[in-house]
């Protein structure tokens, strides 16, 4: 403290003005990259096989560009909806399964382990096809008393039907719902691992301090552990969302037609134009992912409060100002 | 005078490692009991048994007449459910060596969290109380800061305020100053002295002999999971009877 003050009172030496180290290798690399970029842009602009007007303006007489035609926009909505719903299922399931996995109860943690094992082992494509065909197993699916037929037989009633609500399996498990379940259940397994890693990264002292204050296990998890674990959970979850946007194209095998890539493929099959359609798909995926990355930035910033280096630096700066104003650091205690 | 803490023949083992081998202790209301002992003697474990962060294997612990962690019904012990354990902990404050403040909440939120969420007290009432507690520990100006922006001594004082916000009958301190730079120890000990002067019952695990002598009403010296020696701090520190106590004191004094 006193030495610091003495140093500030000494005359300040000249700021250093030195010739910086040269990095010629970097400049060569930059030149090569610039040439490659120029060649690429030249290709995009001059090669008319890209058919930009097909992509952006009109792909047939009287129709909009292929990116903006009604079926493609419909597919885009489907892709976004499917991403959101299956990620919601995946995140909710992931949190539940991670908590089960960390439970001291052996049965709960084994069930969680088996779930993760199964859904990580099976490829999403296989799951999508499987869920599209699950209606082979049941005619109807409903909510009600479990094992109602068997219980009925026990009491001598044949055909006890205690289902409050049921629906034809082929209606429920066709298309969108099957695709959503396949992707969501599979995602749950991956999210469970991410959430578990997040929870385990938190110092056990945190939960201990919260318990010592009389907080229940649920409150400790909700208010103390999970909010801190989010810092670890959010970045890989961002990856998962972006991967999910692309994996929605797998539901074409359920089959679901209500999806971006399927719709674009349809057009390419009809018009025999391949490359521009692929470019159109690529542009849409780029746009969706860019939007998601912006979202991720804000979510990450929210959950890093209290850790921010900027916050700390600013506080430090304030402390130094106070010191230099001649006041002693800290406060009356 | 009422007995705030009563431990009868407390045993605790981690697997085959016996850490506590029959601890007896009585702390009267308003007393400050200091616990000394070499590393690994089971001081932290004993403290954690008092608020049931660790389950004891044999013996009894009572806080203000309440059996901790269990209930006696028809001559049999029943484990208490999570809710009842949490209720018992509400009246026992604990301060840790490494502070364990919640880093994602501001200082004020740290102090308000438990009264608001656990006791569902009125938020503005809790806020007023939290602010005055923070003033009391000398941190009124740091309300809106995050724990990561405070010095160790300041963090520990926030941790004390956080525990006090639940209006505990008993405070447990587990080496509250041993993670601090030497020049920050004083401010935390001063806060604890104020607390003792206000009549708080405290069990303090510490290596600060000066604090034990000045503030302590009783002192126990633990080694190898048993209480080797106990008595008024001045006497024990000035004239230890047991060789193990002598050896320990000659090292820390
Ligand atoms: N959760 C645990 N599992 C297994 N062993 C443990 C556990 N907690 C503590 N121990 C062991 O119990 C013994 C006593 O530990 P404790 O932390 O109570 O000692 P202490 O007296 O507080 O020491 P220190 O002064 O170093 O804090 C040590 O040998 C320690 O390794
Ligand atoms: Mg200890």
Ligand in nearest proximity to the CA of B48: 1
CA distance A241 to A89: 12
A221 Cα to chain B: minimum distance (Å): 13
The residue among A329, A261, A204 whose CA lies nearest residue A82 is A261
What is the pLDDT, as a whole number, of residue A7? 54
The residue among B97, B85, B75, B157 whose CA lies nearest residue A220 is B85
CB–CB contact B105 A330 (8 Å): no
Beta carbons of B184 and B152 less than 8 angstroms apart: yes
What is the pLDDT, as a whole number, of residue A212? 97
- With a 6 Å cutoff on the Cβ, whether B45 touches ligand 1 is yes
Ligand in nearest proximity to the CA of B36: 1
The angle at the Cα of A46, spanning A42 to A52, to the nearest 5 degrees, equals 110
CA distance B55 to B70: 10
CB count, 10 Å around CB of B14? Answer: 10
Strand ranges for A21-113 from DSSP E: none
DSSP codes joined into one string, B68-103: SSEEEETTEEEEPPHHHHHHHHHTEEEE-TT----T
Nearest CA to ligand 1 atom 6: B14
Ordered mean pLDDT values, 10 residues apiece, chain A (333 residues):
56 88 94 96 86 80 80 88 95 96 95 96 91 78 76 77 71 78 96 96 96 96 94 92 92 82 86 84 91 92 74 52 44 35
DSSP codes joined into one string, A92-107: HHHHHHHHHHT-S-HH
Please report the sign of the dihedral spanned by the C-alpha atoms of residue B67, residue B71, residue B77, residue B79: negative
Query: How remote is the CA of residue A326 from the centroid of ligand 2, in Å?
Result: 40
Query: Whole-angstrom distance between the N-terminal and C-terminal Cα of chain A?
Result: 19
CB–CB contact B162 A307 (8 Å): no
Query: Whole-angstrom distance between the N-terminal and C-terminal Cα of chain B?
Result: 33
CA distance B26 to B48: 16
DSSP codes joined into one string, B212-252: HHHH-SEEEEEETTEEEEEE-HHHHHHS--SHHHHHHHHHH
Best mutation site among B16, B44, B251 for ligand 1 pocket (most ligand atoms within 8 Å of CB): B44
Chain A and chain B share a number of CB contacts under 8 A equal to: 97
Cβ-based interface (< 8 Å): residues of A facing B:
203, 205-206, 208-217, 219, 223-224, 227-228, 303, 305-307, 311-312, 315, 330-333
CA distance A161 to A140: 12
- With a 6 Å cutoff on the Cβ, whether B49 touches ligand 1 is no
Beta carbons of A165 and A144 less than 8 angstroms apart: yes
CB count, 10 Å around CB of B142? Answer: 24
CA distance B120 to A216: 13
What is the pLDDT, as a whole number, of residue A315? 52
Nearest CA to ligand 1 atom 7: B14
Atom of ligand 1 nearest to the CA of B38: 25
Beta carbons of B50 and B13 less than 8 angstroms apart: no
For the record, the structure tokens of B23 come out as 């601890």
Measured CA to CA in angstroms, residue A198 lies from A102, A225, A240, B86, B100 at distances of 12, 9, 15, 25, 18
Atom of ligand 1 nearest to the CA of B41: 21
Identify the DSSP state of B226. E
CATH of A55-322, one of 1.10.287.3510, 3.30.2020.10, 1.10.3720.10, 1.10.540.10: 1.10.3720.10
| Environment class of A160 (CB within 10 Å of its CB; exposed 0-12, middle 13-18, buried 19+) | middle
Rounded to 10 degrees, the C-alpha dihedral A235/A236/A238/A243 comes to 160
CA distance A303 to A245: 24
Peptide bond just before A255 cis, omega within 30 deg: yes
What is the pLDDT, as a whole number, of residue A326? 39
Strand ranges for B29-152 from DSSP E: 32-36, 58-63, 66-67, 70-73, 76-79, 92-95
Beta carbons of B188 and B157 less than 8 angstroms apart: yes
Nearest CA to ligand 1 atom 5: B14
* Closest-approach residue (CA) in chain A for B90: A214
What is the pLDDT, as a whole number, of residue A171? 65
What is the pLDDT, as a whole number, of residue B171? 97
H or E element, residue B204: strand B201-205
Nearest CA to ligand 1 atom 26: B39
- With a 6 Å cutoff on the Cβ, whether B177 touches ligand 1 is no
B232 touches chain A (CB under 8 A): no
Hey, is A259 helix, strand or coil?
Answer: coil
Q: What is the Cβ-side half-sphere exposure of residue A14, based on CA atoms within 13 angstroms? A: 3
The angle at the Cα of B44, spanning B40 to B46, to the nearest 5 degrees, equals 105
Rounded to 10 degrees, the C-alpha dihedral A62/A65/A68/A70 comes to 40
CA distance B217 to B232: 6
H or E element, residue B19: strand B17-28
Check whether B133 has a pLDDT greater than 60.
yes
What is the pLDDT, as a whole number, of residue A332? 35
What is the pLDDT, as a whole number, of residue B110? 97
The string over A65-74, giving b where at least 16 C-beta atoms fall within 10 Å of a residue's C-beta and e elsewhere, is bbbbbebbee
Every domain of chain A and the residues it spans: 55-322
- With a 6 Å cutoff on the Cβ, whether B102 touches ligand 1 is no
The residue among B172, B177, B191, B219 whose CA lies nearest residue B37 is B219
B97 touches chain A (CB under 8 A): no
Query: What ipTM is given for this predicted complex?
Result: 0.95
H or E element, residue A206: helix A204-212
* Residue carrying the six token digits 């203000």: B64
pLDDT digits (tens, 9 = 90+) for B180-226: 999 999 999 999 999 999 999 999 999 999 999 999 999 999 999 99
Beta carbons of B42 and B58 less than 8 angstroms apart: no
């Amino acid at each position: 403290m006193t030495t610091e003050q003495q140093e500030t009172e000494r005359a300040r030496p000249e700021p250093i003005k030195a010739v910086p180290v040269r990095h010629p290798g970097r400049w060569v690399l930059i030149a090569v990259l610039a040439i490659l970029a120029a060649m690429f842009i030249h290709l995009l602009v001059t090669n008319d096989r890209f058919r930009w007007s097909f992509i952006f303006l009109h792909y047939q007489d009287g129709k909009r560009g292929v990116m903006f035609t009604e079926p493609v926009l419909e597919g885009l909505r489907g892709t976004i909806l499917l991403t959101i719903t299956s990620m919601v299922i995946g995140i909710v399931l992931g949190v539940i399964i991670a908590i089960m996995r960390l439970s001291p109860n052996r049965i709960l943690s084994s069930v969680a382990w088996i779930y993760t094992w199964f859904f990580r082992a099976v490829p999403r494509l296989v799951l999508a096809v499987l869920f599209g065909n699950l209606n082979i197993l049941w005619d109807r699916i409903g909510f009600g008393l479990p094992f109602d037929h068997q219980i009925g037989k026990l009491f001598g009633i044949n055909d006890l039907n205690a289902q409050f609500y049921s629906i034809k399996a082929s209606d429920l498990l066709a298309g969108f719902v099957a695709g959503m379940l396949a992707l969501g259940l599979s995602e749950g397994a991956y999210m469970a691992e991410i959430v578990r890693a997040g929870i385990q990264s938190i110092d056990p002292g945190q939960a201990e301090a919260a318990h010592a204050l009389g907080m229940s296990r649920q409150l400790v998890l909700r208010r103390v552990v999970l909010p801190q674990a989010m810092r670890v959970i959010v970045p890989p979850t961002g990856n998962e969302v972006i991967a999910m946007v692309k994996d929605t194209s797998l539901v074409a095998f359920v089959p679901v037609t209500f999806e971006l890539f399927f719709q674009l493929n349809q057009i390419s099959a009809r018009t025999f134009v391949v490359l521009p359609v692929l470019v159109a798909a690529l542009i849409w995926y780029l746009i969706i992912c860019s939007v998601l990355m912006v979202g991720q930035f804000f979510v990450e910033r929210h959950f890093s409060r209290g850790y921010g280096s900027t916050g700390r630096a600013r506080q430090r700066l304030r402390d130094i100002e106070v010191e230099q104003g001649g006041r002693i650091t800290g406060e009356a205690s | 005078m009422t007995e705030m803490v009563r431990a009868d023949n407390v045993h605790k083992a981690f697997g085959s490692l016996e850490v506590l081998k029959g601890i007896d202790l009585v702390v009267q209301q308003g007393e400050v009991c200091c616990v000394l002992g070499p590393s690994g003697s089971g001081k932290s474990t004993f403290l954690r048994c008092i608020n049931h962060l660790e389950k004891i294997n044999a013996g009894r612990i009572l806080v203000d007449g309440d059996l901790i962690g269990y209930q006696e019904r028809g001559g049999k012990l029943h484990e208490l459910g999570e809710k009842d354990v949490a209720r018992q902990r509400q009246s026992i404050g604990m301060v840790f060596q490494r502070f364990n403040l919640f880093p994602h909440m501001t200082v004020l939120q740290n102090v308000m969290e438990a009264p608001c969420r656990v006791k569902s007290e009125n938020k503005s009432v809790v806020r007023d109380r939290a602010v005055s507690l923070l003033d009391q520990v000398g941190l009124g100006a740091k309300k809106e800061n995050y724990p990561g922006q405070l010095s160790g001594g300041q963090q520990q004082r926030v941790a004390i305020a956080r525990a006090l916000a639940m209006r505990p009958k008993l405070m447990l301190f587990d080496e509250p100053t041993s993670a601090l730079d030497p020049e920050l120890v004083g401010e935390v000990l001063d806060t604890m002295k104020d607390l003792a002067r206000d009549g708080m019952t405290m069990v303090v695990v510490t290596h600060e002999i000066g604090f034990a002598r000045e503030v302590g009403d009783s002192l126990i010296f633990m080694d190898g999971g048993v209480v080797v020696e106990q008595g008024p701090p001045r006497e024990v520190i000035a004239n230890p009877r047991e060789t193990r106590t002598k050896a320990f004191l000659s090292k820390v004094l």
